[in-house]
A and B are shown apart, each in its own frame.
Chain A
Amino acid sequence: MKACGTVFKYGDNIDTDVIIPARYLNSSDPKELAAHCMEDAIHSTVPFAANVKEGDIIVAEKNFGCGSSREHAPIAIKASGISCVIAKSFARIFYRNAINIGLPILECEDAANDIEMGDKVEVNFDTGVITNLTKNKTYQAQPFPQFMKEMMAAGGLIEQTKVKLGLK
């Protein structure tokens, strides 16, 4: 499985209030949430919702997704068409939410240090190799633990639960 797209680059501690501000949490519709995704990333040079295309990739520095547990954050990112989020580290609730709903995420410090806004990047989820097509460089991400791979392969936590309960 591969992803390929243009990068939206962010810094440290991008919190879930920035990813999807609470003023939009009176909706749980993925499309509506996507329309306001990253709206409060006011220091970003490229407005996200107006420019994001199917397959694009978010790259951030440390502690991406900190703060509120709102699953609306990974839902909004996924519904925006983002194919993968790469960061130096993820806040733990965001990390498990992304895994649970099947939004691919990778931890890779080298990639986060080197990749810039607008770079074209390809990600191979099987090998964890991230290729920066703009800079002609590669980076090696931490592969998923087996437990996570199994959940992703099952299609997320809900599908895995159906199997465990004999409902599928």
Chain B
Amino acid sequence: MGMTMTQKILAAHAGLESVKAGQLIEAKLDLVLGNDVTTPVAIKEFKKIGVDKVFDKDKVAIVPDHFTPNKDIKSAEHCKMVREFAHDKDVTNYFEVGQMGIEHCLLPESGLTVPGDVIIGADSHTCTYGAVGAFSTGVGSTDMAVGMARGVAWFKVPSALKFVLKNKPAEWVSGKDIILHIIGMIGVDGALYKSMEFAGDGLQYLSMDDRFTIANMAIEAGGKNGIFPVDEKTLEYVKEHSQKTPVIYEADEDAEYDAVYEIDLSTLRPTVAYPHLPENTKTIDEAKGLEIDQVVIGSCTNGRISDMRIAASILKGKKIDKNIRCIILPGTQKIWLQCVEEGLATIFVEAGCAFSTPTCGPCLGGHMGILAKGERALSTTNRNFIGRMGHPESEVYLASPAVAAASAIYGKITDPAEV
């Protein structure tokens, strides 16, 4: 029986000819990631193991991005602990404030994630790197600690769902709309313990940024990972950003899937997920008109340059509604600078938006845009759980940057086609 793309990558990293779904393996890691929330717990566990060094100082990445620039004294203490550990262990890829970005925007841009890699990260959205054809999955702090010590992790080999994306997406339909549509279709545990493997002629119309967004939210369907085949766009991206050598794996033709879904991208509509689960999706036609208090454009899901460009194309020459706070957070320092150089930052500020240094900040209710009781946000982030962005009685609606920018102008959920 053939293997899926994920299974092939895992087999190669476990030193096995083949693996099958359900098998428990130990696989070698190409990268171990942590942030300022999860690394402090990992450091405590790492110290318990009793090793002096990390397994490979070039294969650990630590990105303080959640509560940075430090939001309070306790966060500052955590960041200090993380900084001292990174320095003490001579971690090559430690990114200080000023160089850091949102981890899942930053690592691919820094060339640390390439096709064929096995990557774990103590952050659930580590699944983002499936966009470049890597096996990449979120774990907890103890896994991070053991990964840093030994360079291996245990995995149960996942079975897979195949999503065949067909045709060219309709106008204003982005990677975000595609993944929200999929989560709405299969539910927040529709891919539980499984790989989500993407295929089909529709992939040629998806930019790398679209693919990052889609892979990023595999976890919101419960998926272990989301993964794209490696094509010319992938190789071009990797060549531009990385010195590492890509290793290309393809699913076998006779690979087994638990289910195959065909999605005609030309029929999709911009999609909005209602509180309090990403599966509560409605089309823009059903959602438009709902009044909002805040718009957030950014995050590991939608903080990349194409997200900034589309938001700017809609906000150009416009003013946001006087009752709206619109907070824009580019994902990395490089993207921030691109926004300045391309004139996007000027458009945002002239429209009345706040334009911030990179941080996860409001996405997880950390800082930089917390909601009061009863307030409602439309956000390009990834979760709309109870209390996610602030008060337990606030609400978060998830959408694409285009819908978010259009909605900021009118103070209510708006179809970008109608701006």
Binding site for B on A (CB under 8 A): 13, 15, 17-18, 21-23, 25-28, 39-40, 42, 62-63, 66-72, 74-75, 89, 91-93, 96-97, 100-101, 145, 147, 156-158, 161-162, 164-165, 167
Q: List 7 A-B contacts (CB under 8 A).
A: A15-B383, A22-B366, A25-B37, A28-B41, A28-B44, A69-B38, A157-B142
Among A22, A62, A92, A161, the residue within 8 A (CB) of B365 is A22
Rounded to whole angstroms, the CA-CA distance of A26 and B386 in the bound complex is: 19
CB of A96 within 8 A of CB of B139, answer yes
1/0 contact string of B131-162 vs chain A (CB within 8 Å): 00000001111110110011000100000000
CB of A147 within 8 A of CB of B24, answer yes
Closest to B126 in A: A69
How many A-B pairs have beta carbons closer than 8 Å: the answer is 145
Rounded to whole angstroms, the CA-CA distance of A136 and B117 in the bound complex is: 52
Contacts A22-B366, A68-B364, A69-B138: A28 and B51 contacting too (C-beta < 8 A)? no
Rounded to whole angstroms, the CA-CA distance of A92 and B139 in the bound complex is: 9
- Is residue B71 within 8 Å, beta carbon to beta carbon, of the partner chain? yes
Chain B residues near A21 (CB-CB < 8 A): 365, 387, 392
- Is residue B171 within 8 Å, beta carbon to beta carbon, of the partner chain? no
- Is residue B242 within 8 Å, beta carbon to beta carbon, of the partner chain? no
Chain A residues near B37 (CB-CB < 8 A): 22, 25, 70, 72
Rounded to whole angstroms, the CA-CA distance of A130 and B74 in the bound complex is: 41
CB of B277 within 8 A of CB of A13, answer yes
Chain B residues near A66 (CB-CB < 8 A): 188-189, 222
Chain B residues near A68 (CB-CB < 8 A): 123-124, 364, 383
CB of A17 within 8 A of CB of B387, answer yes
CB of A161 within 8 A of CB of B49, answer yes
CB of A42 within 8 A of CB of B24, answer no
Rounded to whole angstroms, the CA-CA distance of A160 and B121 in the bound complex is: 20
1/0 contact string of B367-409 vs chain A (CB within 8 Å): 0000000000000000101111000110000000000000000
Extra A-B contacts (6), CB below 8 Å, given A25-B67, A100-B140, A165-B51: A13-B188, A18-B386, A69-B123, A69-B124, A92-B224, A101-B142
- Is residue B98 within 8 Å, beta carbon to beta carbon, of the partner chain? no
Chain A residues near B75 (CB-CB < 8 A): 26
CB of A17 within 8 A of CB of B385, answer yes
CB of B24 within 8 A of CB of A145, answer yes
- Is residue B50 within 8 Å, beta carbon to beta carbon, of the partner chain? yes
State how many angstroms separate the Cβ of B66 from the closest Cβ of chain A.
Answer: 8
CB of A42 within 8 A of CB of B51, answer no
- Is residue B122 within 8 Å, beta carbon to beta carbon, of the partner chain? yes
Rounded to whole angstroms, the CA-CA distance of A74 and B367 in the bound complex is: 24
